[in-house]
């Protein structure tokens, strides 16, 4: 079965977070999958982001990252994840922010800030996130560990994607309740 970038994979609510979430189950070394490890999948991400990303208005018809810029782009992805993951848990540091800003600057230097390139668009998205007015909207999904931006009016979103992680969690809570009921 070939891998496809479904709308669920753009649940991050911002292009930079969707890019960070290309590593699935980051916290679990045994099951962690880097979807960018396959260059064809990494190229296909650009098209899918233009269709499904919450920032698609700023990310229209994105071009894939050329091979010579891939390692810089991966460096940007890792800096995005480290910084915003720490921010979401209140553990952000000046060093992580500095690393992110350096990665953004390096990416833009290399891409010539070409607005149609995926790496440029990701760097711009990361900058918007870094200065956003309501940083408490940045969250980590308790089921899958993805980063996401809670764009709901009352900031009540708990899961990256209610249909995927929320339902799974509801199902397991239901299971435990039943188990406890049986024991009683």
Query: From the CB of 103, what's the least distance to Zn ion, in Å?
Result: 25
Minimum distance, C-beta of residue 145 to Zn ion, in the bound complex (Å): 7
Spatial distance between the Cα atoms of 124 and 89, rounded to a whole number of angstroms: 23
Half-sphere exposure of 94 (CA within 13 A, CB side): 0
Q: Which is nearer to Zn ion, 121 or 164 (CB)?
A: 164
Using the rule CB under 5 A, is 20 a contact of Zn ion? no
Least CB distance to Zn ion at residue 118 (A): 23
Contacts of 168 (CB under 8 A, 6+ apart): 143
For residues 136 and 118, give the distance between their C-alpha atoms in angstroms, rounded to a whole number. 26
As measured in angstroms, the least distance from the Cβ of 155 to Zn ion is 17
Structure tokens at 113: 């800030």
Q: For residues 158, 21, 96 and 30, what is the CA-based torsion angle, rounded to 10 degrees?
A: 100
15 binds Zn ion (CB under 5 A): no
Tokens, residue 42: 């990494």
Binding-site string for Zn ion from residue 22 to residue 51, where x marks contact by CB under 5 A and - marks none: ------------------------------
Q: Which residue has the tokens 């018809």?
A: 61
Size of the site for Zn ion (CB under 5 A): 6
Residue numbers 140-169 binding Zn ion by CB under 5 A: 141, 143-144, 146, 160, 165
C-alpha–C-alpha distance, residues 144 and 175, integer Å: 19
Contact positions with Zn ion (CB under 5 A) in 82-141:
141
Q: Is the CB of 15 or the CB of 110 nearer to Zn ion?
A: 15
Tell me the closest approach of the beta carbon of residue 54 to Zn ion, in angstroms. 15
Residues 145, 147, 151, 156, CA torsion sign: positive
Q: Is 19 in the site for Zn ion (CB under 5 A)?
A: no
The contact set with Zn ion (CB under 5 A) reads 141, 143-144, 146, 160, 165
């Amino acid at each position: 079965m070939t891998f496809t970038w479904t709308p669920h994979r753009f649940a991050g609510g911002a292009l930079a977070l969707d890019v960070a979430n290309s590593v699935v189950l980051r916290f679990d070394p045994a099951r962690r999958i880097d979807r960018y490890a396959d260059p064809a999948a990494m190229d296909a991400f650009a098209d899918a982001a233009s269709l499904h990303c919450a920032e698609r208005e700023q990310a229209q018809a994105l071009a894939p990252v050329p091979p010579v810029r891939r390692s810089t782009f991966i460096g940007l992805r890792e800096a995005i994840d480290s910084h915003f993951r720490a921010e979401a848990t209140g553990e952000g540091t000046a060093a992580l922010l500095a690393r992110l800003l350096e990665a953004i600057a390096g990416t833009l230097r290399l891409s010539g800030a070409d607005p149609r390139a995926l790496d440029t668009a990701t760097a711009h998205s990361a900058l918007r996130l870094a200065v956003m007015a309501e940083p408490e909207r940045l969250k980590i999904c308790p089921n899958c560990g993805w980063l996401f931006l809670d764009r709901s009016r009352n900031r009540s979103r708990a899961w990256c994607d209610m249909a995927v992680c929320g339902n799974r969690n509801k199902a397991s809570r239901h299971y435990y309740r039943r188990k406890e009921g049986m024991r009683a």
